[in-house]
């Protein structure tokens, strides 16, 4: 249990606080509408559907206030810089922004479903009450109408026997905006499924921008004030007395005609702040969009991996950060995240783009079709826009005494930036380098993938040997998509000084790492260190590594502690 607290304690506390606020809001407003005397006559028409509709609305307001904040990446980068004095555990929470965004979205979806079903029942019961199906009191309340002479206001929004629940839904502000909000939400959630996002990213990208429609509908949803409460009158209307004297309403001082009014819309007050922050975010993105970008080098790597070396005035980065790229020649609206593979010490920044999805396929084809003797910069590259850089978990790699870096395939990109930066730091004899040991693991399915950064590892390997620091960097390469022919070939050349695949002195392993053995080794070699475990790779591997961090951590300050960090985009 203590090991779990080290890695997940603060995250669990934040989750509990968030869930506690949701439960409190639901229960408080449920009881408010279920027991409140001002809603006694409203409940006469709607029954228990009233609190079941209003309680989720309160929870929706709270979560709609939160939903935009985790995707305000510039805000998160600002907070990451502000939390530099708060310790890595606090900064680590910012790396779970998308997980929290999804949790909030699930809560919005759940509460929307409950809210919608309850209001559909309300529409049915409003109609039935007006048609006299629920007794004399409900009928009397439904027949109350606007009248200056009697100074009355209506309770039931249904004003005609020809009105049906369907007509009520599609002819009122609350009903019409509710339909629009619900449809937008359904499209956003369904297009966010993993299979859609990975195979048809453009579908996800465009449908997710329906959030504009969602928030516009949300702001106007309560303007119709369809749920009404009883107002204080002079003389007061005594409900318990007057509900048995329907014929005397408005005729005696004891039973004046009750008056009703809709509540003041509140949703806009919850969401206006986050909406302004998000608008500022988009404005900053537009400013960056207008800043010129030029290219220094273009390389097509094996297996359709495109390397772009770009230059942008005033651009400053940290290790492991990422940028969003936009190519107007492909789409003016689409922005895609890519981790930078360059080091902060270099005078350019680079990204490696793997062919995944329509956007990357079009970009790589455009590069492949460039003439070899092009004397000037291609138009589509001169128009390319860059937004960022944005912070990630890998920024904290040099805050740990020992770091374990795990990259899967193209997931090696943030660690290429880190390894390059290490080379520069040693070259410049940086006295601020706190890290004493780095373990690097690279898992690839195909042999050609190792060619992306094998030359970097060769330079580091040679440099560490010359400095007598071979123990500083321990790296292990794993070929996971191997077959027997690979094994036989490796066995024949096993006695060679360098690996036949990478050219490195460290031989490539076949299969997947035994993580228990690797963590035990790190634990034994660093008995009292704080070890940062960083992953850029699939979720299944993340779950496995997170479990190992919990398993091999100890709260005893004299023993090894592992902190898990994962890249999220």
pLDDT band at 372 (very low <50, low <70, confident <90, very high): low
pTM: 0.81
Q: By three-state DSSP, how is residue 244 classified?
A: coil
Most confident of 217-221, 334-338, 420-424: 217-221
Alpha carbon separation from 507 to 203, 406, 440, 477, 504 (Å, rounded): 43, 17, 14, 8, 7
Task: Give yes or no for a cis peptide into 235 (omega within 30° of 0).
Answer: yes
Nearest-angstrom CA–CA distance, 253 and 235: 7
- Kindly state the percentage of the chain with pLDDT values over 70: 84
Q: Higher confidence at residue 279 or residue 2?
A: 279
Nearest-angstrom CA–CA distance, 565 and 569: 13
Sheet holding 402-408, edge to edge: 509-510, 473-479, 437-444, 402-408, 530-536, 561-566
pLDDT band at 1 (very low <50, low <70, confident <90, very high): low
Q: For 526, phi and psi rounded to 5 degrees?
A: -135, 70
pLDDT at 460 over 60: yes
Q: By three-state DSSP, how is residue 325 classified?
A: strand
Nearest-angstrom CA–CA distance, 477 and 466: 22
- Asked if residue 433 lies in contact with residue 398, where contact means CB atoms within 8 angstroms, the answer is yes
Predicted pLDDT at 227:
87
- Hey, what are 237's tokens? 């209307």
pLDDT band at 25 (very low <50, low <70, confident <90, very high): very high
> Around 412, how many Cα atoms within 13 Å sit in the side-chain half-sphere?
27
Nearest-angstrom CA–CA distance, 288 and 282: 10
Alpha carbon separation from 404 to 42, 407, 529, 565, 566 (Å, rounded): 62, 10, 12, 10, 12
DSSP bridge partners of 478 = 443, 509
- Hey, what are 497's tokens? 């000084």
Predicted pLDDT at 84:
55
Q: What is the mean pLDDT of residues 321-326?
A: 88
pLDDT at 379 over 80: no
Predicted pLDDT at 287:
86
- Asked if residue 222 lies in contact with residue 115, where contact means CB atoms within 8 angstroms, the answer is no
Domain 393-410+420-566 part of CATH 3.40.50.80: yes
pLDDT at 323 over 60: yes
Kindly report, residue by residue over 234-276, the tens digit of the pLDDT: 888 888 888 888 888 888 888 888 888 888 888 889 999 999 9
Nearest-angstrom CA–CA distance, 292 and 482: 44
- DSSP one-letter code for 55: H
pLDDT at 500 over 60: no
Q: Higher confidence at residue 372 or residue 217?
A: 217
- DSSP one-letter code for 39: G
Closest by Cα among 276, 536, 284 to 386: 284
Nearest-angstrom CA–CA distance, 130 and 108: 32
Predicted pLDDT at 57:
94
pLDDT at 116 over 60: yes
Predicted pLDDT at 104:
95
Nearest-angstrom CA–CA distance, 502 and 302: 14
pLDDT band at 51 (very low <50, low <70, confident <90, very high): very high
Q: Which helix (H) or strand (E) holds 231?
A: none
- Hey, what are 369's tokens? 């079709």
- Hey, what are 109's tokens? 């979806």
Q: What is the mean pLDDT of residues 77-81?
A: 75
- DSSP one-letter code for 38: G
Predicted pLDDT at 252:
83
Predicted pLDDT at 115:
95
- Hey, what are 351's tokens? 């990204």
pLDDT at 86 over 80: no
pLDDT at 521 over 80: yes
- Hey, what are 516's tokens? 């228990």
Q: What is the mean pLDDT of residues 340-367?
A: 84
- Hey, what are 221's tokens? 């949803």
Q: Which residues contact 96 (CB under 8 A, 6 or more apart)?
A: 11, 568
Q: Domain-by-domain residue ranges, the chain?
A: 2-172+226-278, 291-312+338-356+382-390, 393-410+420-566
How many C-beta atoms surround the C-beta of residue 242 within 10 A? 21
- Hey, what are 428's tokens? 């410049």
Nearest-angstrom CA–CA distance, 407 and 367: 27
Alpha carbon separation from 334 to 63, 73, 203, 290 (Å, rounded): 26, 16, 11, 15
Kindly report, residue by residue over 139-156, the tens digit of the pLDDT: 888 888 876 555 678 888
């Amino acid at each position: 249990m203590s090991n779990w607290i080290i890695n997940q304690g603060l995250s669990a506390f934040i989750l509990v606080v968030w869930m506690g606020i949701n439960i409190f809001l639901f229960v408080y407003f449920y009881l408010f509408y279920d027991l409140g005397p001002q809603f006694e006559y409203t409940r006469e028409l709607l029954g228990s559907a009233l609190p079941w509709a209003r309680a989720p609305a309160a929870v929706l307001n709270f979560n709609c206030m939160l939903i935009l904040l985790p995707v305000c990446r510039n805000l998160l980068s600002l907070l990451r810089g502000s939390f530099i004095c708060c310790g890595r555990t606090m900064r680590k929470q910012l790396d779970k922004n998308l997980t929290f965004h999804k949790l909030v979205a699930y809560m919005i979806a759940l509460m929307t479903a409950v809210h919608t079903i309850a209001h559909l029942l309300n529409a049915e019961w409003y109609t039935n009450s007006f048609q006299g199906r629920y007794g004399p009191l409900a009928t009397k309340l439904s027949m109350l109408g606007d009248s200056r002479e009697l100074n009355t206001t209506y309770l039931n929004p249904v004003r005609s026997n020809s009105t049906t629940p369907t007509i009520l839904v599609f002819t009122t502000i609350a009903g019409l905006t509710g339909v629009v909000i619900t449809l937008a939400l359904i499209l956003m959630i369904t297009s966010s499924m993993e299979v859609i996002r990975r195979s048809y990213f453009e579908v996800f990208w465009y449908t997710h921008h329906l959030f504009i429609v969602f928030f516009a509908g949300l702001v106007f949803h309560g303007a119709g004030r369809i749920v009404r409460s009883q107002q204080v009158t002079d003389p007061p209307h005594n409900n318990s007395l007057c509900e048995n004297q329907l014929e005397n309403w408005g005729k005696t001082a004891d039973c004046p005609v009750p008056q009703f009014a809709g509540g003041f819309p509140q949703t806009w007050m919850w969401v206006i702040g986050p909406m302004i922050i998000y608008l500022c975010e988009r404005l900053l993105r537009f400013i960056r969009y207008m800043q010129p970008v030029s290219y220094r080098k273009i390389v097509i790597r094996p297996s359709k991996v495109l390397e772009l070396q770009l230059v942008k005035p005033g651009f400053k980065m940290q290790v492991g950060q990422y940028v969003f790229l936009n190519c107007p020649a492909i789409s003016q609206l689409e922005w895609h995240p890519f981790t930078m593979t360059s080091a902060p010490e270099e005078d350019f920044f680079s990204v490696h783009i793997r062919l995944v999805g329509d956007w990357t396929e079009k970009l790589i084809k455009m590069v492949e079709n460039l003439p070899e003797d092009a004397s000037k910069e291609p138009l589509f590259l001169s128009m390319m826009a860059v937004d960022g850089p944005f912070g990630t978990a890998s920024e904290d790699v040099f805050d740990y005494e020992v770091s374990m870096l795990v990259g899967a395939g193209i997931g090696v990109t943030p660690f290429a930036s880190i390894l390059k930066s290490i080379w520069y730091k040693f070259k410049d004899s940086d006295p601020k380098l706190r890290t004493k040991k780095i373990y690097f693991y690279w898992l690839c399915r195909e042999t050609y993938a190792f060619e992306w950064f094998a030359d970097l590892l060769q330079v580091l390997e040679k440099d560490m040997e010359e400095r007598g620091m071979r123990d500083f960097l321990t790296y292990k390469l794993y070929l996971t998509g191997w077959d027997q022919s690979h094994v036989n070939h490796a066995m024949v050349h096993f006695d060679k000084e360098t690996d036949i695949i990478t050219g490195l002195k460290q031989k490539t392993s076949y299969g997947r790492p035994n993580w228990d053995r690797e963590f035990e080794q790190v634990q034994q070699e660093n008995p009292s260190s704080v070890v940062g475990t960083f992953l850029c790779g699939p979720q299944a591997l993340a779950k496995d590594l997170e479990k190992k961090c919990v398993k091999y951590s100890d709260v005893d300050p004299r023993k090894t502690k592992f902190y898990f960090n994962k890249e999220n985009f």
